[in-house]
């Protein structure tokens, strides 16, 4: 839990920093792919708690958790992005849930690994290329080349979470 | 700039006063002489005026001032309550509402572009013109008065005090003057009058008094009487009329306020301001933002969950065993009180309906006797807020599609005046709200026909269906049977929305209708949304909660007892055939599906919803416990068979089964 708290604090602290022409992203892994979401959406990062399965929901909904008395639905993007390979290099206990607030709803996104928080220059972000395996273009806001063979995929959270 | 705190208070109070005015005016229409109501309405207009003036809303002040004047004249008996008068008052009320809305829209400023002068002039004209004719009547009355002698309240301050003290809660105070016929035995008849009064009430004072009458030699031609009685004015007069040779010349019902006020009037005036402040301080109620209550409810919920967790630790120490029951009791009481605070009488919501019915029935040329019952029934505030739209819709439907026009009704041999009843009452742990009309009713054949046309059902399926299932089609999205679309109701949206809202509130709606005789819509709602007793069960290793009010009983059956009826599994329980479903099946879990091949006995929970029953096969029956109902949130709101979630002892989440979904 202490670990959670730390990460939570750093999220809050990070949010207070502002740089012109740059934005902060929380970077995480799903499978071997690296994804980023704007820090403004994020609330906290928690260790994967006991998730209760909810029947009759869409495939990407893994269930709900009890977050200090609030019931929070948790989604797993593997199925959303058609990523089949198992959590790649990561240990099971590296899984985290990022809670995000989108459209006034508190949701959890289960990810395989948290990379960290990065600053990205706005002009370093390019529109998503047409060829992205399994990923529907609508789910993306763009991509950012972090180094030569390292592409960070930036997610449009509203579409990712709410598209039918 | 207006201070927002004051502004909110203004809107809250304005809403209250508008409601009082609304109810009062409608009551007046039926009981034009009801002094209490006149006073209440007057006071509301007066307070509203005061508030408007304080906030600097000139138009509103002017308008309420004029209405107050009108009402004051009614109080003083100078104006009569006529239909025109009621219409004018209602128009005035609409204008008040309009202004208040505008002020809200303009964030606390009264917009400049509003012109009410025309209406205000109308008010003034009405007051003047009707007063002129009434003045004349007054004058002639005054003449009579002089003939019969002075008829004035002739009590000392001490007597007034005593009179008020003697008066029991519902007693009325009458002041009357009786004149004896100019015949013999005047004093005997006078005595009979007093005796009669003592039969029907209490004689407080008479001039001359009993002794004087008895000892009178010259006869008594008039007596001034102050009396207390339970009887209403007319009955009281009738009783007195039985005494022959005596006639009531003057008659007044005295108001408490009148008695209290009239003594040392000047003093009262100078104390007026002070008194106002006092009544503010004496107020024993507190206005609380509903969101603060929500927070409190959540916290109590948390407390309850943690208490349950604590209990499940099962610590074997005497101190622990001593403290736990205490904690148990305190949390229960805390929960109970907080829920109580959130309860509001449904009358708050009902109060707007008489006006709506009046306006609509006028518009549609229908005559409707609207009856409301059980306004004092209490419901959780959040339910009340949500419920007003569906009820409005049901009532509109009752007027539009239900009650027929007077001619049609006459033709059918029904009374020309239709009847719509709105009733609320508590039944067990549920609140029932009924909307009943004695109108045309619903023709199931027509509904069935329409359902086929709309491809909701096939003709073959329809044949197999019972009447109540056919009637249920009216709740189907896109279903409307109104022959023509009116702006009152009927565009096919509506009934399904009504049902959705009720469902969202964890309630149910059902319809009963006899073609030609009328329809009844029944909405049943849980008493409170937040906390309930539940039966915990296990399905495929996961724990689920079933609200106990939907559980009829639990059984263990052997697989051989399952029978088949029309291809569906059923069990026969005390001569009732109850369909069976497996929880594992409806939750899409694999395995467990072939429960019929099970070698062990099956646990079955008999669920009920309305008057329907269904048996749910579960893996294991657990305990019964109190749960705090939490929403799954909008993201998962429409999940089939699941209505919410709760947190159980170990901090895990258990889902709450939506019994309605299963039984329906």
pLDDT tens sequence across B448-506:
888 888 888 888 888 888 888 888 888 887 676 544 444 444 444 478 788 888 887 87
Q: Do A71 and B642 lie within an 8 Å CB cutoff?
A: no
Across the range A103-130, mean pLDDT stands at: 85
CATH for A138 = 2.40.50.180
Q: How far apart are CA B279 and CA B284, in angstroms?
A: 10
Rounded to a whole number, what is the largest CA-CA distance in chain B? 108
| Closest CA–CA distance from residue A146 to any residue of chain B (Å) | 33
Q: Is the predicted pLDDT of residue A134 greater than 60, yes or no?
A: no
- Give the range of the structural domain holding residue A112, as residue numbers without chain letter: 2-162
pLDDT at B419: 92
Distance from CA of B631 to the nearest CA of A (A): 7
In chain A, the number of structural domains is 1
Work out the pLDDT band at A88, boundaries 50, 70, 90. Answer: low
Query: In this predicted model, what pLDDT tens digit does every residue of B413-454 receive, in sequence order?
Result: 889 899 999 999 887 667 899 999 998 888 888 888 888 888
pLDDT single digits (tens) B352-386: 888 888 888 888 888 899 999 988 888 888 788 88
Q: Which of B301, B542, B639 sits opposite A57 (nearest CB)?
A: B639
ipTM, 2 dp: 0.83
Query: Would you say B397 and B515 are in contact if contact means Cβ atoms under 8 Å apart?
Result: no
* Nearest CB partner across the interface for A56, out of B633, B640, B651: B640
Q: How far is B639 from chain A (nearest CA, A)?
A: 6
Q: What is the pLDDT of residue B136?
A: 43
Mutate to test the interface with B, among A46, A47, A58, A64 (most CBs of B within 10 A): A64
Chain B's closest residue to A62, CA to CA, is B636
For every residue of chain A, DSSP letters joined together read -HHHHHHHHHHHHHHH---TTEEEEEEEEETTEEEEEEGGGEEEEEE--PPBP-TTS-TTEEEEEEETTEEEEEEEHHHHTT--S--TT--GGG-EEEEEEETTEEEEEEESEEEEEEEEEGGGEEPPPS--TT--GGGEEEEEEEETTEEEEEE-HHHHHH--
Instruction: Identify the closest residue of chain B to A64 by CA–CA distance.
Output: B653
Asked if the Cβ–Cβ distance from B645 to A52 is below 8 Å, we say: yes
Does B632 contact A71 at a Cβ distance shorter than 8 Å? yes
**Cα B623 to chain centroid, rounded:** 38
Q: Smallest Cβ distance to A69: which of B302, B586, B654?
A: B302
Block mean pLDDT (10 aa), chain B, length 664: 66 83 84 81 83 81 84 79 83 86 81 76 74 45 41 76 77 84 77 82 83 74 84 82 80 77 45 38 67 83 81 82 86 81 85 87 88 87 84 88 89 90 83 91 86 83 83 78 46 70 83 90 79 87 89 89 84 88 83 65 88 89 84 81 83 87 80
**Tokens encoding B63:** 């308008």
pLDDT of the residue at A74: 94
d(CA B7, CA B1): 10
Q: How far is A83 from chain B (nearest CA, A)?
A: 23
pLDDT of B434: 94
Nearest CA in chain B to A107: B635
Q: Which residues of B touch A56 (CB under 8 A)?
A: 586-588, 639-642
Q: How many CB pairs under 8 A join A and B?
A: 69
pLDDT tens per residue across span B287-300:
777 788 888 888 88
- Residue B137 CA, distance from chain mean position: 41
């Amino acid at each position: 839990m202490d670990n959670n708290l730390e990460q939570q604090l750093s999220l809050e602290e990070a949010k207070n920093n502002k740089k012109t022409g740059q934005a902060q992203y929380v970077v995480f892994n799903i499978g071997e792919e690296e994804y980023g979401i704007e820090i403004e959406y994020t609330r906290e990062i928690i260790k994967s708690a006991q998730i209760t399965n909810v029947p009759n929901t869409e495939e990407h909904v893994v269930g709900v958790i009890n977050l200090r008395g609030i019931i929070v639905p948790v989604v797993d993007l593997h199925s959303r992005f058609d990523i089949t390979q198992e959590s790649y290099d990561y240990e099971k206990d590296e899984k985290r849930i990022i809670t995000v607030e989108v459209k006034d709803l508190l949701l959890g996104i289960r990810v395989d690994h948290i990379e960290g928080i990065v600053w990205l220059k706005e002009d370093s972000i390019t529109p998503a290329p047409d060829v992205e395996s399994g990923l529907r273009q609508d789910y993306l806001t763009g991509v950012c080349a972090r180094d030569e063979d390292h592409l960070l995929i930036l997610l449009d959270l509203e579409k990712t979470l709410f598209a039918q | 700039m207006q201070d927002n705190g004051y502004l909110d208070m203004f809107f809250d109070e304005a809403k209250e006063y508008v409601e009082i005015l609304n109810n009062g005016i409608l009551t007046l229409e039926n009981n034009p002489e009801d002094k209490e109501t006149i006073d209440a309405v007057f006071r509301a207009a007066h307070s509203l005026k005061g508030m408007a003036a304080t906030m600097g809303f000139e138009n509103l002040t002017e308008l309420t001032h004029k209405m107050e004047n009108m009402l004051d004249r009614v109080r003083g008996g100078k104006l009569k309550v006529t239909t025109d008068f009621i219409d004018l008052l209602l128009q005035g009320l609409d204008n008040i509402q309009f202004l208040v809305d505008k002020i809200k829209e303009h964030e606390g400023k009264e917009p400049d572009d509003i012109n009410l002068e025309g209406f205000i002039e109308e008010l003034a004209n009405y007051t003047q013109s009707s007063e002129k004719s009434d003045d004349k009547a007054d004058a002639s009355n005054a003449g009579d008065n002089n003939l019969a002698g002075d008829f004035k309240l002739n009590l000392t301050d001490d007597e007034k005090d005593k009179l008020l003290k003697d008066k029991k809660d519902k007693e009325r105070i009458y002041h009357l003057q009786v004149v004896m016929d100019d015949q013999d035995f005047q004093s005997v008849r006078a005595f009979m009058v007093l005796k009669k009064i003592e039969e029907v009430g209490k004689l407080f004072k008479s001039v001359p008094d009993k002794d004087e009458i008895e000892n009178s030699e010259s006869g008594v031609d008039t007596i001034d009487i102050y009396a207390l009685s339970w009887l209403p004015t007319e009955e009281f007069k009738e009783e007195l009329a039985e005494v022959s040779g005596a006639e009531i010349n003057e008659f007044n019902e005295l108001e408490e306020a009148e008695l209290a006020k009239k003594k040392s009037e000047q003093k009262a005036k100078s104390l007026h301001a002070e008194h106002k402040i006092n009544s503010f301080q004496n107020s024993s109620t507190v206005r609380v933002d509903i969101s603060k209550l929500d927070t409190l409810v959540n916290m109590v919920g948390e407390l309850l969950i943690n208490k349950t967790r604590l209990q499940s630790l099962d610590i074997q120490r005497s101190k622990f065993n001593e403290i736990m029951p205490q904690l148990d009791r305190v949390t229960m009481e805390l929960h109970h009180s907080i829920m109580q605070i959130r309860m509001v009488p449904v009358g708050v919501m009902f109060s707007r309906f008489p006006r709506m019915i009046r306006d609509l029935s006028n518009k549609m040329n229908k005559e409707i006797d609207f009856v409301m019952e059980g306004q004092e029934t209490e419901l959780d505030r959040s339910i009340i807020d949500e419920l007003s739209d569906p009820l409005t819709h049901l009532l509109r439907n009752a007027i539009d599609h239900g009650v027929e026009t007077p001619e049609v009704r006459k033709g059918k041999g029904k009374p020309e005046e239709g009847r719509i009843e709105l009733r609320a009452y508590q039944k067990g742990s549920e609140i029932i709200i009924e909307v009943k009309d004695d109108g045309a009713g619903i023709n199931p054949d027509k509904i069935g026909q329409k359902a086929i046309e709309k491809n909701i059902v096939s003709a073959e399926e329809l044949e197999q269906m019972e009447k109540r299932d056919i009637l249920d089609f009216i709740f189907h999205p896109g279903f409307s049977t109104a022959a023509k679309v009116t702006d009152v109701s009927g565009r096919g949206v509506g009934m399904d929305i009504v049902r959705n809202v009720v469902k969202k509130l964890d309630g149910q709606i059902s319809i009963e209708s006899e073609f030609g005789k009328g329809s009844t819509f029944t909405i049943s709602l849980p008493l409170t949304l937040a906390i309930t007793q539940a039966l915990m069960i296990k399905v495929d290793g996961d724990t689920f909660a079933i609200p106990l009010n939907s559980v009829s009983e639990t059984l263990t059956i052997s697989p051989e007892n399952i029978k088949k009826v029309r291809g569906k599994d059923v069990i026969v329980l005390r001569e009732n055939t109850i369909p069976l479903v497996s929880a594992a099946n409806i939750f899409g879990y694999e395995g467990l599906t072939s429960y019929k091949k099970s070698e062990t006995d099956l646990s079955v929970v008999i669920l009920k919803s309305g008057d329907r029953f269904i048996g749910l096969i579960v893996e294991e029956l657990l305990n019964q416990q109190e749960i705090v109902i939490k929403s799954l949130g909008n993201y998962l709101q429409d999940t089939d068979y699941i209505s919410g979630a709760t947190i159980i002892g170990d901090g895990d989440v258990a889902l709450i089964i939506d019994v309605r979904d299963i039984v329906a």
